[in-house]
Structures are given as structure tokens and as C-alpha cells.
Chains A and B, each alone.
Chain A
């Protein structure tokens, strides 16, 4: 893309366009090609400084039977954006577990495009957002299933928790299906911390901030469970925990 995006561009409609302009033009996306039958894992921790504009643009090409597993913690920057465009060939699998934790005036975005171009490929995306202050957190998830891509199984689960009345969560699944024998499941919820649960925890002796942190940790829950390397998983979980504590 050469021209600066506008609100009319679906993939940018909730973005911080001023921040985008400050780093325009964007570098070419990082391209990750996974050979037939291979598998890769990626952990992305976007923890940029508060005034930074951090945009990650990744293209993934999964050849037949290949698997890619991404875990994303998107928490830093004035604008923190992680865009992943995936092309799935026959029988490949894409897995995403992501958390967006934002406060203040932050704009955080996870934008995925799943191009299921051949049969029998599967994708599974789980995104959890916790937003406070005036933060905006957006998940835009497009799934495009080509005419020949029968038996595609694509699922999206998106949940957001708002800590303040002034925070905003956007969840936009976008399905474009040309095949007739596919499963595309998507679910999205936006909620706030359960007051009865908080009182229950506090009545047992947990101070309010600890009770909230416990509930939020549970909410983010299993998104990072799939990180196989223990040290790596613990470091992402610690970064998520630190981000949550800053918000409370």
C-alpha cells in the first residue's frame, strides 16, 4: 500500500491514523514461508515505549500440511498494531493466541486475514483484551474461503473486558465464503469485571487490586498455554502480568 490509509479502509477504520502517518510509509511486511509438512512457532511481545508507534506486518504462507502457531502480547506504544496475513494451502493449520492489554490513550489492534485457498485447512484464533482508561482495542479478523477450499474449519473467539466506561473494544469478524462445505465459527463478547466475584474474593481477604488482577489473569487465562518453551511462556506471562498491574 502506498497511499496513507483512511477510515474508509476496513483494516484501518479503528486505527490511530495520526500515529500511522508519523511512520508512513511502512516497511514491506516480514514474509514467513513454511514448507510442506513443517511447523513453526512465533512469540511476539509488542511492549514498545508509551509514545511509540509500533506496527508489525507479517505475511505467512503455509504450504500443504504446514502449521504455524503465533502467540502475541500486544501492550505497548501509542499505537500498537500486529497484522498477520495468512495463506493456507491444503491441510495446513494456523493457530493464534493473543492478548491486548491497554490503558491511557493507547490504540491497540490485531488484524488477521486468513486466506483459505485450498481444502482441509484449519485455523483457530483466540484473542483476549483488557482495556482501561481511554484505550481502544480492536480485533479485525477476516476469513476468506475460496470456492475450492472445502472442509475449511476456521474459528475465532474474541473476548474483551472493559475496566472503565471510557475504554472501547471493537471486535469485527468478517467472513467471505465461496465454498459450501465449511465450518467458520466466531464468537465475540465484551464485558466488565463481575462485581459479585470481586466482593467474594475481597471478603476472603484479597485487597481490591489483587482480586482484580486474579480475575483478569483468569480472563486472559489460557491464551499463552500453548507456548511450549517453559521459560518463554513464563516470560510472556510475566510481561502480561506487569501490564495488568500497571492498569490497576
Chain B
């Protein structure tokens, strides 16, 4: 035990902070040492790339209905065909439809005679990329009339993989916008509360207390139900983000208040005051930058919470509405055991949810450890 302490002190000296390196560079250096956090960052980058290039990366348009292939299982990508011949280009087998004579249920079986090679840069459904220019180029896919459903299709015959990519636009931005809004609100409230103290502080703290004494999801449900269903989907989307951010600011405000309470008696703030710097300027130029690392950490850890919140609300039918889609909307199709037993691939979107939540948590934890670069 004693040895350990000595070692610790020794390593402390060895790692003593180099002179002339800015705090942000130190944070970056420490963050990049954390492998888990780094891999989280890579996953997040991949997910957002998928969302940005959704139309191009997905083989089909999200609304294309393949009415011949309703609830078709995923088509396996193969290299070796039935005659043990190895193909240089991966391919999928076509489907033939069968009907179970006992249950009258349609099921799909691979037709080993039909081969659709998977190609890069194929022409398929036309789309307007970001509403700017029209094209029908897709990164990969099979040529018509072939089909390739990487993750199968849903009950209306839409390609699940394409819908996951399109849906990530909603699911991944809800958290970002929501956190952005709640950070602005939380920072404002927390700093005001800590800096002024007294009555203002008291009122803000009581409001937070009331907000935090409700369980989150039932409150989100009540608020989400208040969004009129006849609204345009884009407004429903904005409404949901607002609902999610409305409850998220309390925790941040509380923590910032504590930090500001400690800071406002420190010399640099007193000096600024003595120099006649105005209060808004003290807040914006001195208090906010000094709490920024704190704000970023709390914000990063709040994003996965909001993503899970949106998923839950959409799953219950209180969130995002068609024609928009999100991971929660996709998962809501898997709501019944009966359906899940026949179409287990409908739960695939959950892997996206889990990957996102994990990645943000890793990054958030890494940031938290790095945020105070002067400690070891």
C-alpha cells in the first residue's frame, strides 16, 4: 500500500504538466490516450457519415414499396454458389415465394438458380440529394429487376437497411439539437443562479426541483401527447426535440451553479468586477469559458439519454410520425411477440441505437476524465 503511494507520487512528478501548453491541448492529449473514447469517436463519425449520405449509401429509397416482398427475410451475401464455384463479385440469390398450406403464411425461399451480383455505383431509385440535385446513383446494390434486402423488409415491403440509414437522420439529430437547446438554457439558468444568488437562485432551484421530481419518461409522454397529431411531421420532430430538451437542463444548471458559486469569489472575477466589466460580459467572457469543459462533458453524456428518449417515445407511438422515420419508429413494428417470432430481423435497428448510445457514453466518459488535465 505504502509502496503504491510512493509510486504514485513518483509518476506524478514524471508526468508533471509541461509549460506553455494550452489547457485544450492537454485535454486533447489526454483524451486521445483513452482507447475506448477514441473508438467511440470513430463509431460516431461512421454513424453520422451514414446519416449525411443516407440516400447515396442506401440501395433503395426509404419509401419504395416492394409489394412482391412483404416481410422478406434478409438476403445473405454470398461468394460461393451452389456448384461450389467461387465468384469474384459477391452476389445474392433471388427469392421465390411459397405459401404454407396450413397457415397460409407467405414465406420466401432462396432460388438457387437466380443470381444477382452486387455492384458498386448502380442506378436505382431516383432521389433528390439533400433536395439539391436529382440522381439515381447508389453506392452499391443489384441491378433491376433484382432485389437485395440486406436486413430484410418490413410489413409494407420497404427495405429495412435503407430505412435505418434514413432514420438515423432523425435519431441522430434529435439528441444533438435537444442537447444544444438544453445546454443553452441550462447554462443560462445555472450561471445566473450561481452568480446572483439570493431570490433568483432560490426560484430557479425550486423550479429545477419541481422538474426533477417527476419521473422523466411519464413526463415526456405527457408533453409529447400535447403535440397536435395533425401538425406537419417536421414540426412534430421539432416539438419532440423541444420536449426532450425541456427536461434535460435541470441537471446541468445545478452542476454549473455549484461551479459558479465557487468561482465568483475567485480573484479573476473580482478583478474583472473591479475593472468595471459589466455583468453580462463577466458571465460570457469569464464564467462560461471556465465552465466550458464541464458543459461539454455533461452535454455529451446527455445526448444518448435523449436518443433513448426519442426511441422510447416513437416506439410508443407518441414520437416521430410518418412519413418521417426514426429508429424508434422502425422498432415500433417489432412491438408484438407474434410479429417478432416470424420476422426477427425487425429488431436490427436496435443495434444502431445501442452502438450510438455506447459510443456517446465512451466519448463522454473519456471527456470527463480528460476535462481536468492537471490531475493524473
Tell me if chain B binds chain A.
no
